[in-house]
Structure formats: structure tokens, C-alpha cells
Amino acid sequence: MFRRLILSLTLLAPLAFAASAGAQDFDRVAAVVNDEAISLHDVIARVRLSLVSANIPDNVDNRRRVVPQVVRKMIDERLQMQEASRLKISITAGDIDTGIGMIEQQNRMPKGTLIPNLTRQGIEASTIREQIRADLTWMRLMTRAIQPQIRIGEEEITDRFEIMRARQGQPESLLAEIYLPVDSAAAEDEAKRLGEGLVDQLRAGTPFAVLARQFSRAPTAANGGTMGWMNETGLDDEVAAIAAKLTKGQVSPLTRTSSGFHIIALIDQRIAGQFVDPEASTVTYSRMILPMPQGPGAPPRQQLLAQAAKVSAGTKSCAEFDTNAHRIGALKVERIGPSTLSALNAETRQILMPVTVNQVSQPNLTTDGIQVMMVCSRDEATKVAGLTRDQVRRTIEDERLDMLSRRYLRDLRRQAFIDVRL
């Protein structure tokens, strides 16, 4: 039996999360998924995590806007975890720790700082760990239960190979998406309201990947919404029409499509068959060294790193970076380059490789003090890649896995008993 009670925003008063809410309120059942309950406490914690992670102001209007999507995501996660349990697929604490480390690395955060940062903002460690557990569990389920069923014939590879080879030398785009599905009249208003709020956050400077990871319902959410390099012929017609109106660096308005709402970002463009060789790229960068107090009364290292990050926050150019460095009394300020990344030491190369022009690196400790760098210019070195049948096979496999993943979850929803009680 399948039943879904539509969330009514007029009944979300408990989700104003007033500090005076009693333990009995927090223990209320927010939703039942088959024979498992999701408590109001769990929903409150996840909503707070979503807002903090996306840098969205934590107020009543924003909480009400995100609650429906958060609850739906939690229901999907519970279905995924139940299916994994049935198939005897599990995730260890060590797997979760590795996942946390990957998030820190992707966001250029010092190792071991994600949980403390969230805890200081009132987020329980168990909340982020459970979300990571659900994501990793679903990925492992797909790998073990679905991927082995995918059969790709040599003829199919040959046909796709010829199509992809014909695209060599043609323009293609690196796209990212935020997708909010609509499966009922009430969901239409909820998704539109959330989508409009996400567009506002994007305009305010919140990274696209952060919002996609927390709110998109597409399988690409785990990768920050990144869809990969796409030729217009490989895109859904509706998405292709949205992307065609964008230039590099632009984000589309919220757009209604046949299955829901889309926000599309055009991250980059290139000629198919070419790729950037990062280590051959040439960069010019500014570097400051800030003093690191020593002794018993000195602040903890993580606090100093956080202060250093705050100093350079909002800096928009290397000239401004250098001026600020002198103003705050940096021990050393220098402009370095142009230099190929391959000519730099391994640590500097690793720090600068993901940093874009006019972007500041995460602070790091050196023997001289706390180092912060900003990339002033970057000239990418491109090479032409040869297309192989293995690459084509992986492309087809990824597409098939994406499709089967969505179908699998849709079937789990249809077969489940779901009762939303908010």
C-alpha cells in the first residue's frame, strides 16, 4: 500500500523550532516509512543542517520553505537504508569518516574541521554522519546490486563510439543542475517556493554545488549537481533549451519542465576531445604569511586558521589581497609567477590546482606562519585526447546506472507505506 499525506505549510508551526519547544514536541513522529518513524527532532536537525550548509539565513520563512524537500529527502534515505538492510549492505564508521574527509577536501577545509565547525553552529555530529551514511549506502547498493546487471554489447559501444568521434572538435559544455521534482499539485507550490529561494541564495553568492548537494533530487546531487561535459544532442530537450540561453558562468532562472523545476549552471565550455593538463597550466599568485602566536596562551591552531580565512574573505583581486595583507601586518607579502604548476613544490601545487582566478586558498600552516594564497591569473594548457572504447563503455554504463538508480528509488516509493504527519 502506498499513501502520502501532503505537507501543509499551515501545520508547520512546530517547525519554527522555538527554543522553548519541549522534549515531547521533539519526540513527535513526523513521518512513518513502512515500519520506521522519522521524529520531529530528526527533521529539525536536518533542516538546520541544510540551512547552515547552504549558508541560508536560519529564519522561520526559510525553514518553512525547505521543510517539504528535506522531509522527502529523509523519506527517500529511509527507503534506501531499508533496501540496503534487506540486501545486507552496510556502511562502517570508518567509511563515514572517509566520506567526511572527502567533503573537507572538496571544500578545501583543513582536515578534521567539518564536524567541529558544524557543532559550533548547533548541528549535532550524528546528523551529518547519518546523511553521509545514507548517501554512501545508496552508492554501495547501486554498485553491488545494479551495476552488475548492466550489459553493454560491443555493437552498442561501436555505435556510440562513432557518434562521439563525430563530435570531436565540436563545442560541449560542463553543466550542473538543481532538480526539484513535482508529483502533485501541492508539491508544485512547495517546489516553486523552494526553487525561488535557492535562486535568491545563488544570486547572494552561495556556491551552486552546496545548494545542489543539499536540495537537488537528481542523482547528480552527490556530485554538487555536476552533470559532466555534455553536447546538446546528449541532453534532454528541455534542459538543452535552458542551457542554450546561458553563457559561461551563468545560472538559469528557475524553469518549469515537464517533471518539475530545474536550475541549470553553465560552468565551462570547451572543444570536445580537448582536455586541460592542470600541471602544465601557468599561474601567477599572491602569497601572504601571517604570524602564528606561540606559547601557552596562544589560541588553538584551528582558531588561528579560521581567523586567517576571515581576513581574506570577500577579497576580489590580488591588488586588494596585497593591500589587505600589508594592512593587517603580514610577515611576508609577495607576488609569484608566472610559473607552471609542475615547477612548484608539491604542497603549493596541490593547494593552487583547484583554486580559480581571484579566489583565495584555504589557510595552511607552514614553518614560517599561516599561509594564504590567491590566484591572480591562470593560463590553461590543453591537449587533445584520443577516444577509446573503454571511455565509451564507461559513459554508457554511467548513463544506464543513473537511469536505473532513479527507477529503483521510484519503485521503492510506490511499494512503500509512507505517512507524513506534520
End position of a domain, from candidates 250, 272, 294: 272
Q: How many domains, the chain?
A: 3
Q: CB under 8 Å to 161, separation ≥6 — which residues? A: 387, 389, 392
Q: Which amino acid is at 216?
A: S
On whether both 38 and 138 belong to a single domain, the answer is yes
Long-range contacts of 396-403 (CB under 8 A, 24+ apart): 396/152, 396/156, 396/157, 396/160, 397/147, 397/150, 397/152, 400/150, 400/152, 401/142, 401/146, 401/147, 401/150, 402/219
| Shared domain check, 213 and 192 | yes
Which of 234, 256, 272 terminates a domain? The answer is 272
Q: Are 154 and 174 found together in one domain? A: no
Pair 159, 94 in one domain = yes
The pLDDT score that the predictor gives to residue 19 is: 41
Residue finishing a domain among 272, 305, 325: 272
* From 188-202, 318-332, 370-384, the region with the lowest mean pLDDT: 370-384
Is residue 412 within 8 A of residue 350, CB to CB? The reply is no
Return the pLDDT at 7. 32
Which H helix or E strand runs over 263?
strand 260-271
Q: From the centroid of its chain, how far is CA 344?
A: 29
pLDDT in tens, 265-323: 999 988 776 666 667 788 999 999 988 877 777 777 777 777 777 777 778 899 999 99
- Reported as a single tens digit per residue, the pLDDT across 113-139 is 889 988 988 889 999 999 999 989 998
pLDDT, tens only, 87-99: 999 999 999 998 8
Looking at the structure, do residues 303 and 367 belong to the same domain, yes or no? Answer: yes
- Tell whether 97 and 177 lie within a shared domain: no
| Residue 42: count of CB within 10 angstroms of its CB | 21
Domain containing residue 99: CATH number: 1.10.4030.10
pTM: 0.62
Would you state the cell numbers that stand for residue 316, as one nine-digit string?
576580489
CATH of the domain at 194: 3.10.50.40
Domain that holds residue 289: 278-382
Q: Which residue has the higher pLDDT, 46 or 298?
A: 46
Higher-pLDDT residue of 126 and 20 is 126
- Judged by DSSP in three states, 87 sits in coil
**Residue 8 pLDDT > 60:** no
